[in-house]
Structures are given as C-alpha cells and as structure tokens.
C-alpha cells in the first residue's frame, strides 16, 4: 500500500505543486489549507508523513506541528516543515516544536524525495514494532517520558580536531561522545553501545558517504541512526546520503542549538524503537515460553521442529520425538497440593534438559507432558535415550520442602517419517505412551510405524 502523505499549505498553487510531485512518485496524497485543518485530519486519519508549510494564517505551521506532536495519537507521524525561511532560529523553533526535517523553497525534487523516503522508512519501522508488540501510541506515554530523560552514546567520525570540537560542544553536557578519526575503527566501534553515529562528509582522509554506506551494510549497524554533516554547496552529497540510508543531515557552519535539537530528536526516536523492540522480544518470550519451567511451550516446539522436517524431506535425515508424562501426577496434586506439583514439574523439566543433548528440543507441551525432539536420531536410538532419562528420574528422589518424593515417568517414542504431519507423529508417540501407562508405568515404549509411510 502506498504511503499516505498530508500536504498542508494555505496557498493553492503551492499545495497543487507538492501534490503533483508526490503523486508522480505514487504516494497517496491528502491536503489541508490551514494548520487547524491539519491538526484535525491528523487526529482522525491514518497518516505516514506530513509536509507542513511554516507560514500560514491562524495556527501557523510551527504551532500545528507542536499540537500534532503533543497528541499521543499522532506524535509519531514524521513532519517535514516546508518554508522559505532561511534563518537558523526558525529551524530551531521548528525542531523544538517537533519537526523532523526542513525543506526550503524553491523545492528541489531530488532533495524532497530523498527526505520523504528517509522518514517513511523510519515510520514503517515504528509501525511494524507497534504491531508486533501490541503497544499503541496512546499507551506509550510512560515509555516516552522515560526516554525524554535519557542520555545517549554518540560516535563522531571526524578527522579534524577543530570541527570535532564544534560538534561536541553543544552535546557533551547531555550525552557521552566518542571521537574516531579512523573510519575502520569507527565502523567496528559502532557495533555495540552506540546510539547515534555522526559522520563528517567534508573530511579529507576518508569518504564520509562510504562510511555511511558501510554502516548500513553491516547487520549490527543497520538500525543505528546516522547524522551526516556536510557543506551547503555540496547538496548532491547530502541528498545521496539519504539514499544510502542516513537519517538526517546538517549543513555547516553548525549552529549549536540546531545540532542539539536534531540529535535529541533522533535520539528519542531511536530509544523509542529500542524500547518497542525489547518489549517485542519480551512478548515473544512469553508467547513461546512456559513461565513455570522456563522451557519452550507447545507453540515453541511446533515452530522449532520445522527445520528438522525440512531436513527430512530434502536430506532424508531421520529424527525422533518422545513424549514424557509424569506418572500419577493428578494424585500428587490432589494429595500434596498444586504448589508441590509445580515444584515437581520444575524439577522434572530441569532433569530432562540436563540429561538431553544440546541439540535436542525440549518443551513442556501441556500439563504434565513434555515433548522432546532428537535430531539425527532413529527410533531405536531415541528409545535408548528416553529409557536412560526415565531411569535417572526414577532413581533419584525429588526433594520438595524437605520431603523426598519418588517420582516416575513414562514415555512414548516415534521416529518421524517422510511426508508425515506433526499431528500424526504425535498421535503415534501418544499411543505408545498410553500403552506404557497401561503396562504399569515407569517405562518407555516405541511407536508403531505409520502404515501409510
């Protein structure tokens, strides 16, 4: 789906010009003729980017930008201020109002589209993280408040001591800064613990654009924001930087407040994305992990054996699964209580993990059942392994609250056959487990071979 861009300008010719330029790039464009209208549209319609004229009657562009950025529903939508103003103080005012970037009139098409693509990439990443985590923009407020108070680690790649000092001066009171003159060392240092990389495009001893490209090429640096600093007369290189994947650019001579405002804006977005990513990983861990035992759960197991199924189909590499079940577990729970039962489950899980190979996939499949997949293992070999583990569990008491409990397990084992669905393998192993229970428990039985195989 094409990105949806809101263009805001009180003059129809300007509005139409931008609309035509963006539609030529196949963007979905909507328009507003005032700051008031823009604020209302932003709160009601899904938008991916806003191009906002700075000078408008009524609510001007800066005030409209501020209101959109203060709204928890719309603060994440990137805003590019479109202005004829060249004054640094106006850029600072826009950045402090929350604007993500500036375009000055007359508008250069290549410059415009490079900045639009850069901010749309950023918005897309944020949207993806929000959809994965279940977070909403509204319930992220506490996270944002914490982020606004954080300081970050900045890597400056610059070979001039004088230019480096001009960059450092406005930032050092809030952030930690490391300066590197050697690009190879800088790329290596950027792999860990760096929140923003600032790259000089005017250095004589290295090509700043190549440094930016190398940072984007390395998987470890792909999400690290880059701010490129160049000369205003070399606009082509600044535009090229956006195509490479730079997040923002700044022209020399550096105005200290503008530098600080741009870095803080980039830093906030980076910390927010990091927080969403951490939240996503925690949610994923909760989705695929059993909170009691720490083992993978049923969903984890079903996903984890996909590579084994693929290897069976393509390389004819056998693997087997086994289902362990704790004998008389319901009676244990009824007599000793669920707390005692939970302790037993955790101890059995620990014994299964420590007595299987590192390559084996061990999960709690549900209740008192544990499922294990053994790569490169035939059914006969898996039966031997399962019986060894069963014997270890039965031969060593489990101590819970000072009580020594004799706990046994039963298991069914099945080798996975080519073309067989997981549910069919599970059914064969479960049938073998049922027969082991019927035969007196505390034993391992192999499954019957699938006749259809």
Q: Looking up tokens 């603060």, which residue turns up?
A: 75
Output the six-digit token pair for 338: 């669920």
Output the six-digit token pair for 175: 């952030």
Judge whether 368 counts as a catalytic residue: yes
Judge whether 271 and 147 are in contact, CB under 8 Å: yes
Helices 256-288 and 141-148, axial angle in degrees (round to 10):
140
The string of DSSP codes covering 54-105 is S--SSS-HHHHHHHHHHSTTTTTS-EEEEES---HHHHHHHHHHT--EEEES
Host H or E run for residue 389: helix 379-395
Q: Which of 152, 190, 166 is nearest to 259 (CA)?
A: 166
Output the six-digit token pair for 284: 């994923």
The DSSP symbol for 10 reads S
d(CA 441, CA 366): 19
Host H or E run for residue 249: strand 248-251
Alpha helices in 248-317 (DSSP H): 256-288, 298-304, 306-315
Output the six-digit token pair for 90: 């106006």
Judge whether 244 and 173 are in contact, CB under 8 Å: no
Give me the catalytic one of 368, 369, 381, 415: 368
d(CA 431, CA 320): 15
Helices 208-217 and 235-244, axial angle in degrees (round to 10):
10
Residues, the chain, total?
A: 453
Q: Is 413 exposed, middle or buried (0-12, 13-18, 19+ CB in 10 A)?
A: buried
Write out the catalytic residue numbers: 368
């Amino acid at each position: 789906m094409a990105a949806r861009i809101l263009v805001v300008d009180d003059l129809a010719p300007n509005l139409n010009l931008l609309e035509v330029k963006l539609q030529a790039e196949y963007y979905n464009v909507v328009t507003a003729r005032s700051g008031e209208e823009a604020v209302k549209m932003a709160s009601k319609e899904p938008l991916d980017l806003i191009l906002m004229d700075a000078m408008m009657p009524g609510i001007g562009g800066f005030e409209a930008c501020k209101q959109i950025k203060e709204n928890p529903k719309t603060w994440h939508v990137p805003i590019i201020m479109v202005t004829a103003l060249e004054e640094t103080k106006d850029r600072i005012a826009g950045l402090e109002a929350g604007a993500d970037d500036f375009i000055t009139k007359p508008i250069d098409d290549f410059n415009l589209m490079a900045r639009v693509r850069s901010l749309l990439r950023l918005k897309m990443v944020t949207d993806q993280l929000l959809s994965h985590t279940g977070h909403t923009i509204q319930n992220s407020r506490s996270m944002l408040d914490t982020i606004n108070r954080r300081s970050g680690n900045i890597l400056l790649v610059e070979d001039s001591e004088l230019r480096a000092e001009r960059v450092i001066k406005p930032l050092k009171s809030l952030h930690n800064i490391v300066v590197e003159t050697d690009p190879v060392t800088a790329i290596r240092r950027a792999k860990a613990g760096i929140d923003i990389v600032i790259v000089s495009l005017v250095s004589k001893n290295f090509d700043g654009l190549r440094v930016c490209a190398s940072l984007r090429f390395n998987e470890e640096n792909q999400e690290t924001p880059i701010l490129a600093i160049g000369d205003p007369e070399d606009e082509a290189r600044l535009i090229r930087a956006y195509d490479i994947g730079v997040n923002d650019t700044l022209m020399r001579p550096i105005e200290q407040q503008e530098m600080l405002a741009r870095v803080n804006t980039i830093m906030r977005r980076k910390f927010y994305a990091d927080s969403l990513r951490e939240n996503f990983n925690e949610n994923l861990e909760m989705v695929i992990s059993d909170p009691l035992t720490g083992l993978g759960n049923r969903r984890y197991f079903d996903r984890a054996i996909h590579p084994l199924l693929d290897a069976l189909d393509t390389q004819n590499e056998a693997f087997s699964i086994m289902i362990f079940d704790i004998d008389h577990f319901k009676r244990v729970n009824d007599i000793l209580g669920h707390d005692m039962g939970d302790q037993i489950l955790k101890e059995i899980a620990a014994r299964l993990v420590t007595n299987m190979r590192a390559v084996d996939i061990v999960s709690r499949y549900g209740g008192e059942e544990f499922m294990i997949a053994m790569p490169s293992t035939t059914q006969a070999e898996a039966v031997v392994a399962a019986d060894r583990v069963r014997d270890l569990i039965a031969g060593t008491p489990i101590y819970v609250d000072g009580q020594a409990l004799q706990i046994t397990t039963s298991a069914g084992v099945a080798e996975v056959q080519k073309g067989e669905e997981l549910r069919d393998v599970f059914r064969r192993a479960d049938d073998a487990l049922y027969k082991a229970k019927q035969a007196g428990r505390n034993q391992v039985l192999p499954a019957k071979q699938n006749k259809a195989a």
